[in-house]
Structure 1
Amino acid sequence: MTALPDWMRPPRAEGWFAEDLDRLPEAPRHTELIDGALVFTMSPQRSWHGRLVTALTTALMAQAPAGVEIEREMTVRLDARNRPEPDLLATTAAYDKDRTWYALDVVPFVIEVVSPESAHRDRTVKLRKYAEAGIPHYWCVEEDEGEPVVHVYELDEPTRSYAPAGIFRGVLSRPVPFEIALDLGDLVPRQQG
């Protein structure tokens, strides 16, 4: 086995902290921090995932009210030892070309599009972490025979856990976090027969 490169060694015995991610230019592009450990997305991205994220970005940008921006693949600082990177997020923060992460108080909504490599994290770890951190809305988008299926969650403030708000196929219509109406079938190309 070859030795780890120096940049992969935690800077302290307690592991990594949120601010350390900005000091790792050698790290792969989609590096997240979960419980003080670096998590790398190393598997190739599937076309379905990339196209769905792009289509969702475009659709949500068109429906977002003034003062709400949609970003993709930006980390959110949940606490000192957690800085996950959702596929999409809504933010009320002003645009800053040098921004590398968002603070919790300006992120009311995150979306994860499940891939085989991220399935466990998206369905369990991130679902729990986003809720405990207080993000009001979470969507976990799954694939069913090439079609998107959106599992929608809303935060139950007293318990700091998510309550399921519906599973959407075909059409998604939601009044929160802002008025959203999506034809889910239009978000990805149909399979060629």
Structure 2
Amino acid sequence: MGHPGILRIDIDVAVRGDPPANGARHLKADTFWHTKGKQRNMPFSPDIIVTGEDTPRILLAAEAKLSRAIRKEDEAQLKTYMLHMRCPIGLLVTPDVIEVFRDTYTAHSEDSVEHVASFAPPRTWDIFKAPHHGKRETHLELRFEEAVKSWLEQLGTSPSAYLNESPKDAREALRDYILPALTQGVVRSTGPRESLKFL
């Protein structure tokens, strides 16, 4: 039964250690309660995920950040999400850098998730860097998130164009970690976050 002014959110959490047959099995996680206008105990959810075409399995998770420096907290949240959801590849994306993480499935802690690559993003993202936008820019974070999503979609459909223009470190990271997920799955946004602020 609902409570006035209360938002109930249920999330699915994959069980680490389950065999990956037709995607990871899922258990219903604890229910998180959020007071209207506040977000207590809000579980981390990445901005963008890549899921299998015929399964709910998450192949890649990406978090888009406008801030130049990636915080340890951001990295820890992504790693924890990857562990719980059995997600093999994670990205922390800013207008300055794309950081790639891979779950080695060797432990039941963040130690299992390794930082495996770092490379420069598309030059078109320069418009999202602080010196290039003024105070009048609105919804900049959402626009950047959409730019990241579009980039992933374009990579999945026509990777050769981007690969040919990329330096060696970017090509290797894309071929080894990112493209395999994109060619097997569908790029999806996890939902408009702005709406949560008004619930």
Q: Indicate the structure whose relative CO is greater, using CA pairs within 8 Å and at least 6 residues apart.
A: 2
Q: Which of the pair is proportionally richer in helix?
A: 2
Q: Which of the pair is proportionally richer in strand?
A: 1
